[in-house]
Amino acid sequence: MSNLVLSIKGSYKFQYHADGPDQPPVEIDFTPPFRRISMISGLEEILGVKFPTDLNTPEARQFLDDLVRVCIGYLGALVVCVCWLSVCVGCLCV
């Protein structure tokens, strides 16, 4: 991920205007090394939920559908709560 950021932005650090261009930017720093975590365990920790062990079941599909609905309802916008990596890639395009 660090090399992707470096290739796109020319630096490991960049400014992101999370609240719009008129608000103060947030600096995002991808300078290695950084803590590596499992996507699922990281989401479980942040969201306070336990993911199903087998994600290829109808019950898991329902769990994920419900989780996305909660995230959309809570934040009022489609934020990626199932895959934080998509958020990182999305902010590079801004």
pLDDT in tens, 26-61: 898 999 887 888 888 988 988 889 999 998 999 999
The burial class, CB within 10 Å (0-12 / 13-18 / 19+), for 5 is buried
> What is the number of structural domains in the chain?
2
Q: Please check whether residues 48 and 93 belong to one and the same domain.
A: yes
Residue 18: band (very low, low, confident or very high) from pLDDT cuts 50, 70, 90:
confident
Residue 75: band (very low, low, confident or very high) from pLDDT cuts 50, 70, 90:
low
Q: Please check whether residues 59 and 91 belong to one and the same domain.
A: yes
Q: Please check whether residues 9 and 52 belong to one and the same domain.
A: no
What integer best gives the mean pLDDT of the chain? Answer: 78
Domain span including residue 31: 1-36
Q: Over pLDDT 90: what percentage of the chain?
A: 23
Q: Please check whether residues 90 and 63 belong to one and the same domain.
A: yes
The pLDDT score that the predictor gives to residue 92 is 45
Q: Please check whether residues 6 and 44 belong to one and the same domain.
A: no
> CA–CA separation, 59 vs 4, rounded Å?
35
In this structure, is the dihedral angle defined by the CA atoms of residues 27, 28, 30 and 33, taken in order, positive or negative?
A: positive
